[in-house]
Amino acid sequence: MVKVELYDTTLRDGAQSEGISFSVVDKLHIAQRLDGLGIHYIEGGWPGSNPKDAEFFEKARGMKLKNTRIAVFGSTRRRGLKAEEDNNLTMLVKAGVKVATIVGKSSDLQVINVLKTTLEENLSMIADSVRYLKSKGMKVFLDAEHFFDGFKHNPDYSLKTLEVAAEVGVDCLVLCDTNGGALPDEVTRAVKKAAKTTGVPLGIHCHNDGGLAVANTLAAVAAGATQVQGTINGLGERCGNADLCTIIPALKLKMGIDCVSDEQLASLTEVSHYVSELANLIPDPFAPYIGTSAFSHKAGYHMDGITKWPDAYQHIDPAKVGNRQRTVVSDQSGKRNIISKAKELGIDLSNAEKEVKDLLERVKQLESRGFQYDNAEASFELLLHRAKPDYKPPFELVDFMVVVESRRRPSTRKAAEEMLSEAMVKVKVGGEIIHTAAEGDGPVNALDLAMRKALLQYYPGLKQVKLVDYKVRILEESTGTESQVRVLIESSDGVNGWRTVGGSTNIIEASWLALADGLEWWLVKNNKK
């Protein structure tokens, strides 16, 4: 069986994503998770570029890693200097790790136009740098930067850069699609040619500017590459790097390359979401393998097939990557979707044909009015409960009124502070009607505060429920201000999160319905009826 080593560069390339800045503590925590995932090498950063990376290597020395070796990143010596005089190279040695990856130009045009030196000097820079690091007892990988672009323009020179590194003992030659513009067939030809040129193991490092980083990586492995470089969730500069969260299961489950254990693969989704959290990014729901929608089923026809044979509309068992199958209920659904979704929520409707039929009609009717339950599972669960004849809601909406007015204030005040929103709400709890009012930063905030004011005296636990996201979508824009609107609200109690939906031609009513669902769902789930 082919052995492939996984090399993660999330902590360097991934940190170059626009808007991302990992702290040293973040990087240490991510490294621990990557070690658990079974990554063979973790590129910690470039200590010569910033103090943060230097601090990471200092603290990483105390880490106890089971599967991973930390690698330091840098570049070849600068032109006109001896390797031992180059501060960049000496800092790689001082980092205190035994693996170094250095980037060297393998494109003649890059050497001439960017390095502003001769082709011969660039070859010396590569050879001298590898030789110096090897003399310090380090394992050395050469990132052959712009290799595929260089191979198209001047293949002899690009291959020569590999040869000089091989002659001085480089441990792996990593072929880089630095600009992300190569095609899979081009990658295949170049990798095969490189394999014939030297006997040194080859690696692959792809960027995603053409949307082909994963495809190019897998093509390179099929052509003989045995080291795969990438980042978690495809983080990286511009359009990102090759996504290890797609590559790892493809290698193991599709190509039969046992790069991680079954147990490690099952942690993939959790690791992906963890990195997203530290990067302050919302996980991509549509990401292959690890997205929340990767194994969701909406069409009734598909759901019918899935219930009969799980492989009917799934290319793998989602549990293998730590994910799960989801049933999505909408106006495109069939009765099986309703039954399956109810089962996921612990409600058995397998022998309730009329109830299921009525629920399906109710969903279709509500979606025609702007509701959508794809991403509002809490609201759908409430529909299931409300369909039961013995269901007693923890509270009932009676009436509300919202007033928005402009108040005169000194001209030094901000315009937003000159607006006053006040909501008056009536809700019924048991046999009692509570009438409250509250002011807020806007009409939705005022409604939220007024409802809580009424309910907290009966359900003090609601204090921990917070509104964390609020989205409005205008439907049928051609009707202007009379358009249907859909409001999607995400709530959290600090532990769990849930989404609810409201629909109306009135944005305040849609918000009112979604807000109320969010509070009612939490009360029902926590037996506060």
Can you give the pLDDT at residue 481? Answer: 54
Looking at per-residue confidence, does 351 or 332 come out higher?
351
Nearest to 234 by CA among 261, 251, 215, 256: 215
Can you give the pLDDT at residue 194? Answer: 98
How far is 165 from 66, CA to CA, in rounded Å? Answer: 30
Nearest to 243 by CA among 3, 4, 10: 10
Q: Could you state, in order of their start, the residue ranges of all structural domains in the chain? A: 5-278, 296-368
Can you give the pLDDT at residue 413? Answer: 35
pLDDT, tens digit, 9 for 90 and up, residues 32-51: 999 999 999 999 999 877 78
Nearest to 75 by CA among 27, 24, 12: 12
pTM value?
0.70
Lowest mean pLDDT segment, chosen from 227-236, 275-284, 371-380, 465-474: 371-380
- The token duo for 104 is 């060297």
- The residues, any chain, with a CB within 8 Å of residue 315's CB and separated by 6 or more, are none
Can you give the pLDDT at residue 39? Answer: 98
Read off the pLDDT of each residue in 330-349 and give the average, rounded to a whole number.
64
Can you give the pLDDT at residue 307? Answer: 63
Supply the DSSP symbol for 291: S
Mean pLDDT of the chain: 87
Read off the pLDDT of each residue in 445-458 and give the average, rounded to a whole number.
92
The backbone torsions φ and ψ at residue 41, rounded to the nearest 5 degrees and listed phi first, read -135, 135
pLDDT, tens digit, 9 for 90 and up, residues 307-317: 676 777 788 99
Read off the pLDDT of each residue in 495-500 and give the average, rounded to a whole number.
86
pLDDT, tens digit, 9 for 90 and up, residues 159-168: 999 999 999 9
Looking at per-residue confidence, does 376 or 511 come out higher?
511
pLDDT, tens digit, 9 for 90 and up, residues 342-358: 777 677 776 667 777 77
Supply the DSSP symbol for 493: -
Lowest mean pLDDT segment, chosen from 168-177, 259-268, 504-513: 504-513
Nearest to 42 by CA among 249, 280, 271, 220: 271
Q: Is the pLDDT of residue 415 over 80?
A: no
Our CA angle for 295, 296, 302, nearest 5°, is 100
Read off the pLDDT of each residue in 152-163 and give the average, rounded to a whole number.
97
Amino acid at position 218, single letter:
L
Q: Could you please report the per-residue DSSP string of 255-273?
A: S---SS-HHHHTTHHHHHH
- The token duo for 369 is 């009015």
How far is 368 from 484, CA to CA, in rounded Å? Answer: 10
Identify the three-state secondary structure at position 63. Answer: coil
| CATH 3.40.50.2030 holds for 5-278 | no
Can you give the pLDDT at residue 416? Answer: 47
For the ranges 55-69, 134-148, 331-345, the one whose mean pLDDT is highest: 134-148
Give the percent of the chain with pLDDT over 90.
59
Q: Is the pLDDT of residue 337 over 80?
A: no
Looking at per-residue confidence, does 479 or 28 come out higher?
28
pLDDT, tens digit, 9 for 90 and up, residues 288-302: 999 988 887 665 555
Can you give the pLDDT at residue 309? Answer: 67
Q: Is the pLDDT of residue 398 over 60?
A: yes
pLDDT, tens digit, 9 for 90 and up, residues 162-218: 999 999 999 999 999 999 999 999 999 999 999 999 999 999 999 999 999 999 999
Q: Rounded to the nearest 10 degrees, how much is the dihedral formed by the CA atoms of 62, 63, 68, 72?
A: -50
